[in-house]
Amino acid sequence: MKRTARLGYRAALLVAAMAVSVAACSSGTTSAPASGSAVNATVSASASVPPGTVLRVGDQQDFLKLPLQVSGQDQNFPYTVQYSTFLGPQIIEGFTAGKLDLGMTSDGTVLNAQAAGVPIVIVAVARGSGEDTAIVVRPGMASTIKTLSDLKGKSIAFSTNNAFALEALASVGLKVSDVHEVNIQTADVVAALESNDVDAAVVPDPELSAYLADTPGSKVLTYNTLTNGTDDARFIITTKSTLEDPGKVAAIADYIRRLSKSRIWVNSHLAQWTQTYYVQDQKIAPAIAPGIVQRSGVYTYTPINNDIITRFEDVADVLRTAGVYPASLNPKSVFDLAFNADVQQS
What whole-number distance in Å separates Cα of residue 224 and Cα of residue 135? 8
Q: How far is CA 227 from CA 1, 86, 234, 317, in A?
A: 9, 26, 16, 13
The answer to which of 18-22, 102-106, 175-179 has the lowest mean pLDDT is: 18-22
Using the 8-state DSSP alphabet, how is residue 298 labeled? -
What whole-number distance in Å separates Cα of residue 325 and Cα of residue 187? 25
Summarised one tens digit per residue, pLDDT across range 234-274 is 999 999 999 999 999 999 999 999 999 999 999 999 999 99
Predicted structure pTM score: 0.83
Q: Average pLDDT of the chain?
A: 84
What whole-number distance in Å separates Cα of residue 45 and Cα of residue 59? 22
According to the model, what pLDDT value does residue 103 have? Answer: 98
Helix (H, G, I), strand (E, B) or coil at 176: helix
According to the model, what pLDDT value does residue 346 have? Answer: 65
The answer to which of 89-93, 195-199, 265-269 has the lowest mean pLDDT is: 89-93
The pairing of strands 120-128 and 299-302 is: antiparallel
The structural domains of the chain, ordered by start, are 16-129+231-342 (3.40.190.10), 133-226 (3.40.190.10)
Cβ 109 vs Cβ 92: under 8 Å: yes
Using the 8-state DSSP alphabet, how is residue 13 labeled? P
Summarised one tens digit per residue, pLDDT across range 266-288 is 999 999 999 999 999 988 899 98
Summarised one tens digit per residue, pLDDT across range 137-193 is 999 998 999 999 999 999 999 876 788 888 899 889 999 999 999 988 777 899 999
Across 19-29, average pLDDT = 31
Phi and psi at 317, nearest 5°, equal -65, -40
Phi and psi at 117, nearest 5°, equal 85, 15
Share of the chain above pLDDT 70, in %: 84
What whole-number distance in Å separates Cα of residue 338 and Cα of residue 341? 7
